[in-house]
Structures are given as C-alpha cells and as structure tokens.
Amino acid sequence: MRKENLFVRESRLKNQSGFALVMVMTTVLILELICFFLAQTRGVQTNAAFNRIQKLKARYLAEAGLAHGLWRLENNPDWRVQMADIPLGDGSYTVSFSEDTLGRKIVIDSQAGVGGAKSSARRTVHWLVIQPPYTSDTKEADTYIKEGEPDTVFDDKSDLLLDSEEGGGKRCRTLARFNFSKCSLPSDAKIVSSFFSMYLYQIPKEGFIPDIYRIHRIIQDWLPHETTWKERNKNLHLAWSAPGGAFDPSYEDSKIFTALGWQRWRTTNLVRFWLKYPAQNYGLILETDIRAGNNEYKFRSSSYS
C-alpha cells in the first residue's frame, strides 16, 4: 500500500511535472509568436518610417536644387545649362531651366532622388528690368550731386558721376529712384533677388581706385529735376537734413570697381522694403569715403542716347 501510494504520488508528481512542462512550452510558444508578431509589426513600422525619412530627404534635396538653381541664375552667365546629377548627402538632384521667348519668365525645375525616393520642385521666376526714363515723372529718375557745386542741378546730363576726391569740392554722389507701381507683378509674387546696375564707361586717369562704393536707402523725399548737394527741392528751398543727401547710414551692398561695363549692387532688401512701404520709396544713393587723388568714375545716365 505504501508503495502503491508512493507510486500514485510519484505518478501524480510526474503528471504534474509533465503538465507544467506543457504549460511552459505553450507559454514560450505564445511568447515567441508575440515576439515574432511584434518584430514583424516593428519591421513594417521601421520600413515605413525609413521610407518617410527618405521621402523627406528627397523633398529637401529638391528644394536645395531650387536654391542652387536660383543662385546660378543670379551669378552665372551660363545658367541655362542643365545641372545634372549634383551629389548632396546620400542623394543627388538635377536642375533644368526653361524660359519664354522674351526671357522674362524663367521656370526652374529640380528633380531629386535619395535611394528609391523621388521628389520634384518647381519655381517660376519673373525677370523684370526697370529703367528710369528721362521724363517728368518725379517717381523715377537718376541724377548726381556735387559737393563743389552745391546749388547746381545735374539732372539733364548724360552721365552719372561718382567721385571721392578730397579738396576742391569734387565729391560726387549718384541718386536714383524707381516707380514700382508700373510693374505687373503677380499678387503672390515674392522678391527672390534684386540688383541695381549702372554702366561704367570711364575710369580715373590713375586707373582703377580701390574705393568702396556703398549703396544706401534715401530717407527723405526729393525732386529729381530740382536736386542739389544742399537741397532736395531747390525750387521750394527744401534742404537735405545733411548736405550730400539724407540716407540710412547702414548700407545695402558695396562694390570696388575693377573693370569697365555693367556694375551692380544687390538691392533685394531695399526693394522688399519699398514694396511693403511704397510711401517711403525715395530711392537710393551711392557714396564712398573721401580720399586723395583723381577718383572720378563716369556712368551712363537714363538721359544718355
């Protein structure tokens, strides 16, 4: 009886162990299935996240291509040539240009790829050239003022002068203003870049002088056909707040002349300001520091023919 009881006990004990082992194996199998399912789900989620990141990279890469295209448009005479497979990071982009027959509307297309992800971006650039005509329009004109002849109006000259020479009152500054109300800009247009250009045709006898010519925003209204070194309206005897023109002391851009031909200064912030505050569009002025020597530069004015 004791042995039987022991056997029964042993049998029961063995049966309990087997049952426990089956339970453990079942639990482990369930855990493995859960882990496998989680791994599969996580793998899908990881792949989806990776794909989203790749698409985001491709989109940013396409935008970078646009920025490169805009820079090329502004700085490279050969901007029309396609930029193909430009590497950046772990991807690349291709930028192409197209324009209308007048060259006033330029479309920049950027195609980018990162791994298998693709993206594209497009921007239309409206290229406008504003030339101040020699008319009675007081909102657009160009002229220069001379320190040595503070009461003289030079608006009818075919030249624009810049001069830094000290002594004898030979300093000259050039002024210009533009009427943007005549521009047919789209309502949603953004100013990407703007430049002010003048054609340099004569340099000082001593050659090119390393003067730095700065461009500023004029802060007082002036009448183009009545402007002198002393007065912004000679007819009404309205003086500048300071002789030589009233302008913002901080300059927009600066340049040293090294060759004949077109000279340009960046005026992007000025144009944005004028379009936002048209009542304060008084134009711009070019000036430099005083130095010894014959430093006169001559440019073509709007009245040149």
**pLDDT tens-place string over residues 205-259:** 889 988 899 999 999 999 888 999 999 999 999 999 999 999 999 999 999 999 9
Q: Is the pLDDT of residue 40 over 90?
A: no
Residue 69 φ/ψ, nearest 5 degrees: -65, -40
For residue range 121-175, list pLDDT tens digits in order: 998 887 777 776 545 555 668 999 999 899 999 887 889 999 887 666 678 999 9
Mean pLDDT of 35-60: 73
Mean pLDDT of 64-82: 87
Q: How far apart are CA 64 and CA 58, in angstroms?
A: 10
Tokens read off for 15: 């049966």
Contact 122, 108 (CB under 8 A): yes
Tokens read off for 62: 């396409």
Looking at the whole model, is its pTM more than 0.75? no
Contact 271, 194 (CB under 8 A): yes
Q: Is the pLDDT of residue 22 over 50?
A: no
Q: How far apart are CA 221 and CA 214, in angstroms?
A: 20
Q: How far apart are CA 162 and CA 107, in angstroms?
A: 37
Q: Which of the 8 DSSP states describes residue 165? A: B
Q: How far apart are CA 214 and CA 286, in angstroms?
A: 6
pLDDT, position 117: 92
Number of H helices, E strands in the chain: 2, 15
